[in-house]
A and B are shown apart, each in its own frame.
Chain A
Amino acid sequence: MPKLSERFHKIIRFSFRNYSSKTETKPKKDVDPCRTFKIYRFGGILSKEQPKIQSYELDVSTCGKMVLDALIKIKDKDPTLTFRRSCREGICGSCAINLQGMNCLSCITEIPPAKTITILPLPHMYVIRDLVVDMTHFFNGYDSIRPYLVRKNDGAIGKTQLAQSIKDNEKMVGLYECVLCSCCSTSCPSYWWNGRRFLGPATLLHAYRWVIDSRDDDTEQRLYELRDSFKAFKCHTIMNCSLACPKGLHPAKAIMNLKRLISGLDKKPVPEIDPGKFKSGGDSGSGKNKKCCP
Chain B
Amino acid sequence: MAFSMFLRTSGCQSRMFTQQAMRLATQPAITQRMISSSLPVRNIMKDTKTTPILNAIRSFRTSCVRRSAEKVEDHSRLWVIERVVSAALVPLIPLALMMPNKLFDSLLAILITAHSFWGLEAIAVDYVRASIFGPILPKIAIGLVYLISIATLGGLFYIISHDVGIANGIRQFWAIKSDAQKS
Contact = CB atoms under 8 A, between A and B. Distances in A.
Given A190-B126, A291-B13, A152 B19 contact: no
B55 A293 contact: no
B41 to A, nearest CB: 18
Contacts of B90: none
A19 interface: no
B60 A152 contact: yes
B58 A150 contact: yes
A148 B15 contact: no
A202 B135 CA distance: 30
Contacts, number: 78
A259 interface: yes
Interface residues of A, number: 34
Contacts of B55: 148
B26 interface: yes
Contacts of B19: 284
A153 B67 CA distance: 19
A194 B131 CA distance: 10
B63 interface: yes
A74 to B, nearest CB: 36
Contacts of A159: 22
A263 B77 contact: yes
A234 B15 CA distance: 51
Most-contacted residue by chain B among A190, A218, A221, A263 (CB, 10 A): A263
Nearest to B82: A233
Interface stretch (A25-33, A38-46, A172-180, A222-230): A222-230
B76 A148 contact: no
B126 A194 contact: yes
Contact of B80 (A157, A224, A263): A263
Interface string A179-218: 0000000000010011000000000000000000000011
A218 B60 contact: yes
B144 interface: no
A227 B15 contact: no
Given A148-B57, A221-B67, A227-B75, 11 more contacts: A149-B58, A150-B58, A157-B59, A158-B26, A193-B129, A224-B67, A263-B76, A265-B80, A289-B15, A292-B8, A293-B13
Interface of B: 8, 13, 15, 19, 22, 25-26, 54-60, 63, 67, 72-80, 122, 126-127, 129
17 contacts: A150-B57, A151-B58, A151-B60, A152-B59, A152-B60, A155-B59, A158-B54, A158-B57, A190-B126, A193-B126, A194-B129, A218-B60, A221-B63, A229-B75, A233-B75, A263-B76, A292-B8
